[in-house]
């Protein structure tokens, strides 16, 4: 694989020659070229940035040095130009696996407010373009992102790692689980013991223990990986963010007005909540939402109360009810219950036959012995 980097800070990429990548370069598995973008400037100050058209803060990277660099480096069909940008596709192991199949990656590292858009548009006409983000935060420049992407990609190249098996078992591998905890010598350290099972020599037991640990860790830390739930058409159910609050409030009002009319209950708390309360609840509950054609059409939330996973606000846009969306959302919130949960609990309108039917079908039992707001009933189900 050949890797090229266009940057105004070539020294940032010096670590690429350390450790394993260094060895891979020596062995001919990797060809690596770091280019100082200023080599393609023609003024005395080697200027690579200028003020933004339309005004605003900061500077923008000029298009000409990138254009000349692409030409001088012969970037063309079959090559992939990677623009590192916070507005790109989030980088993950699947993207790394995909990039590892390419013959040549050319990283264009941004600085300042980013790169003139025409560079990206132009690159698209001569090569494959990928705009990739390291995560939802802003770095000073694209070099650190290029380094991280490189490291994740090149370790997947056949022959790069001494032990290819370690690729199969680690976090984010094909199985989608986080890795189990690992231990080495000494057997006792600071009064802490290595788990007995790992000393048993029983490979079957060890494999089972590791799998259990991986599942538990994933459920606790990244339930979204364990249950990447989606509707039948592949629409994902995702964790709600603060920016969803307005739409959540709208959905909630639409659903609970309907519920209130059907049950002659006008004191349903969800009907009277303010936007600020909905926002605050997003911090207190794990809320999940689903969108259709960009519109937020379903929600549900859960939170742990002792060993009870309390489920609430199961809502489906009135025009999409009766299509099974509620059942899928309920299944999702049940699936993401943390490992400490022993049962599920929810509350619904005592006269809401449709909801009661849904919950009973899903295995919930009516619990008249448990408190519920007036006009409502509590239902529970054991995990």
CB atoms within 10 A of CB 68: 15
Nearer to ligand SAM, 116 or 286 (CB): 116
Return the residue of 135, 195, 318, 340 that touches ligand SAM, per CB under 6 A.
Answer: 135
Stretch that binds ligand SAM, among 79-87, 215-223, 339-347, 370-378 (CB under 6 A): 79-87
**Closest-CB residue for ligand SAM?**
110
Nearer to ligand SAM, 41 or 258 (CB): 41
Radius of gyration of the chain (CA): 27
Question: Which residue is associated with the tokens 């132009």?
Answer: 122
The yes or no reply on residue 318 touching ligand SAM (CB under 6 A) is no
Nearer to ligand SAM, 86 or 349 (CB): 86
Q: Where do the DSSP E strands lie in the chain?
A: 2-7, 31-36, 49-50, 60-61, 80-90, 104-108, 128-133, 188-189, 192-193, 237-239, 286-292, 295-305, 308-316, 343-349, 365-366, 376-382
Pairwise CA distance, residues 162 & 73, whole Å: 32
Nearer to ligand SAM, 135 or 318 (CB): 135
Applying CB under 6 A, the site for ligand SAM has a residue count of 19
The yes or no reply on residue 163 touching ligand SAM (CB under 6 A) is no
Return the residue of 77, 138, 165, 371 that touches ligand SAM, per CB under 6 A.
Answer: 138
Tell the burial category of 337 from Cβ atoms under 10 Å away from its Cβ (0-12, 13-18, 19+): buried
- Taking the alpha carbons at both ends of the chain, their separation in whole angstroms is 49
Pairwise CA distance, residues 237 & 230, whole Å: 6
CB of 54 to ligand SAM, least distance (A): 14
Return the residue of 114, 298, 302, 349 that touches ligand SAM, per CB under 6 A.
Answer: 114
The yes or no reply on residue 139 touching ligand SAM (CB under 6 A) is yes
CB atoms within 10 A of CB 199: 12
The yes or no reply on residue 109 touching ligand SAM (CB under 6 A) is yes
Return the residue of 80, 133, 252, 287 that touches ligand SAM, per CB under 6 A.
Answer: 133
Pairwise CA distance, residues 78 & 269, whole Å: 58
The yes or no reply on residue 140 touching ligand SAM (CB under 6 A) is yes
Q: Where does this chain bind ligand SAM (CB under 6 A)?
A: 84-87, 109-111, 113-114, 133-135, 137-142, 145
């Amino acid at each position: 694989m050949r890797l090229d980097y266009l940057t105004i800070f070539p020294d940032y990429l010096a670590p690429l020659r350390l450790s394993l990548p260094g060895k891979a370069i020596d062995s001919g598995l990797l060809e690596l070229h770091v280019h100082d973008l200023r080599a393609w400037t023609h003024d005395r100050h080697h200027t690579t940035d200028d003020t933004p058209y339309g005004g605003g803060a900061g500077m923008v990277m000029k298009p000409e040095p990138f254009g000349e660099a692409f030409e001088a480096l012969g970037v063309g069909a079959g090559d992939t130009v990677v623009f590192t940008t916070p507005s790109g596709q989030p980088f993950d192991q699947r993207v790394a696996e995909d990039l590892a199949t390419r013959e040549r990656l050319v990283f264009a590292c941004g600085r300042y407010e980013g790169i003139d858009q025409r560079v990206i548009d132009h690159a698209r006409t001569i090569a494959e373009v990928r705009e990739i983000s390291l995560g939802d935060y802003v770095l000073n420049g694209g070099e650190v992102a290029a380094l991280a992407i490189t490291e994740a990609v090149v370790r997947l190249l056949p022959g790069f790692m001494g032990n290819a098996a370690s690729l199969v078992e680690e976090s984010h591998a094909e199985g989608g689980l986080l890795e189990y905890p690992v231990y080495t010598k000494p057997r006792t350290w600071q009064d802490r013991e290595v788990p007995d099972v790992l000393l048993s020599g029983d490979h079957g037991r060890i494999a089972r223990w590791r799998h259990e640990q991986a599942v538990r860790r994933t459920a606790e830390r990244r339930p979204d990986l364990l249950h990447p739930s989606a509707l039948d058409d592949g629409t994902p159910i995702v964790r709600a963010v603060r920016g969803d609050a307005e739409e959540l409030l709208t959905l909630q009002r639409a659903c609970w007005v309907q519920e209130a009319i059907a049950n002659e209950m006008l004191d349903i708390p969800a009907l009277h909540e303010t936007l600020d309360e909905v926002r605050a609840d997003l911090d207190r509950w794990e809320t999940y939402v689903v969108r259709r054609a960009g519109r937020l059409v379903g929600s549900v939330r859960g939170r742990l109360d002792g060993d009870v996973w309390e489920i609430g606000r199961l809502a489906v846009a009135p025009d999409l009810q009766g299509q099974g969306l509620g059942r899928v959302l309920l299944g999702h919130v049940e699936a993401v219950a943390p490992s400490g949960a022993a049962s599920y609990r929810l509350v619904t309108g005592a006269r809401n036959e449709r909801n009661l039917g849904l919950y009973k079908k899903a295995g919930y039992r009516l619990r008249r012995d448990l408190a519920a707001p007036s006009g409502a009933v509590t239902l529970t189900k054991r995990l």
